[in-house]
Amino acid sequence: MGSSIRWASFLVSAALLVSCKTQLQPTVNKVQYYQIDANYSIDSAIVKYYSPYKIQLESEMNRVIGFSDAHLTKTREAESLAANFFTDALLWKGQQLDPAVQVSFATKGGIRSDLKAGNITVGNIFEIMPFENSVTVLTLSGKDMLRWADYMARTGGQPASGIKLLIENKKVKEFLVQGKPIDPNQTYKLVTYDYLANGGDYVDFLDQVLDRKDYTQRIRESLMEYVSELTKQGKHIQATIDGRVRIIE
């Protein structure tokens, strides 16, 4: 705990230094360490202050919004159950925002957790997508769609929906969008999130987009809406490995 206190003091000092316009150089005249352990009694006034917020937060996080028939695992494989659930939900939301959207794209690193079988809570969705990323719809040329496929082939496959991609020796062997080969003379609409659209996660094929539309809709909110909509229809989450991204050994 002592190291935590030292780090906290350092961060506070750094924040104050950055926020000042004057060029101040921090100095330490005397260092004193405090041991924080079970010998310290709980401050009832502080507990009383935050308890209502804690109860409200826990109530919302534990709210059940759906049900998954299987444990949706997050793996580094070309295709995973969690990835297919995630991108199917993203494609669903993208087509709500723009019916012309044909495909969705995420990365393995952006999906942060498995989704266990059974009840799905709001907290479970936060675990999968804890970031504040929002929905972005991009218009790409046929050429840049092929660059997307090359990116996925080089990186061992990435989460996607609306496609069929066959990879051999880190090269694209087959690439279909909505069941059809890419037409270099056509344009395509892809839904993703702002972090990737800005080049995050080493995404290098979105530097020449023909059009970009950013929405305030959070990815996390989209996942919740997708699960809730299935629940309204009396359906469960039933993600499967369907061969949308496959590597030939």
Q: How far apart are CA 188 and CA 210, in angstroms?
A: 10
**Average pLDDT value for residue range 226-236:** 96
Looking at the domain that runs over 65-248, which CATH code has it been given?
A: 3.90.780.10
pLDDT tens for each residue of 117-154: 999 999 999 999 999 999 999 999 999 999 999 999 99
Domain ranges of the chain: 2-61, 65-248
Check residue 28 and give its pLDDT.
Answer: 65
155 Cβ contact partners less than 8 Å away, ≥ 6 residues apart = none
Query: Quick one: which of 168, 183, 165, 172 has its CA closest to 105?
Result: 165
Query: Which amino acid belongs to residue 67?
Result: F
According to DSSP, residue 237 is labeled B
| Lowest mean pLDDT across 17-26, 59-68, 85-94, 232-241 | 17-26
Residues 225, 180, 194, 167: is their CA dihedral positive or negative? positive
Give the H or E element holding residue 240: none
pLDDT tens for each residue of 160-210: 999 999 999 999 999 999 999 999 899 999 999 999 999 999 999 999 999
pLDDT over threshold 60, residue 14:
no
Token duo for residue 183: 């037409």
| 3-state secondary structure (DSSP) of residue 248 | strand
pLDDT band at 39 (very low <50, low <70, confident <90, very high): confident
User: How large is the C-alpha radius of gyration of the chain?
Assistant: 23
More confident residue, 45 or 203: 203
pLDDT tens for each residue of 62-115: 999 999 999 999 999 999 999 999 999 999 999 999 999 999 999 999 999 999
